[in-house]
Amino acid sequence: MTTTAPTLNARVIALAFRGPRTLLDGTLADLGTDFAQSVVLRTVAGAGGSADRAALAAEVGATLQAEEPAVRAVIERLTAAQLLDQGRADAGALRLTEAGRDLHERISAASAGIAARLYADIPAEDLAVAGRVLTLITERAEAELARA
């Protein structure tokens, strides 16, 4: 018996998001962190290991669709946990500590493992099409939100 794949719609997208995110959230909890903290660490790592505090709060706020005060609180928790620290020369600069870099690397490895398991045996062409379609949907939604 074969099953017909459903037409792409908001429910299919939501379900496709929920499963991997739930797996990631469980992994993050096991690592003693959460999604917002992982986004901050990833953003700083992606910027070469240091970032301006205000720019970081703005970028992560946009990524998470969160208010900057909430993002600043996440940044402060990471600083208190000694995963980020303030550069000596520039009071606005934050950098990953060795512990922060290590946690980011463990999160990245765990996330890659989840993706590898979930995407296993899906042809590269199918993944490329899915990526293009979801990117287009995201761009259109963001354009509509910008006009609202």
- For 115-133, the pLDDT digits (tens) are 999 999 999 999 999 999 9
Contact partners, residue 25, CB within 8 Å, separation at least 6: 34, 35
Per-residue pLDDT tens over the stretch 62-118: 999 999 999 999 999 999 999 999 876 667 899 999 999 999 999 999 999 999 999
- Alpha carbons within 13 angstroms on the beta-carbon side of residue 1 total 1
* Fold (CATH) for 30-120: Arc Repressor Mutant, subunit A (1.10.10)
pLDDT at 144: 95
Provide the mean pLDDT of the chain: 94
What pLDDT shows up at residue 43? 98
Give the start-to-end residue ranges of the domains of the chain. 30-120
- What pTM was computed for the model? 0.88
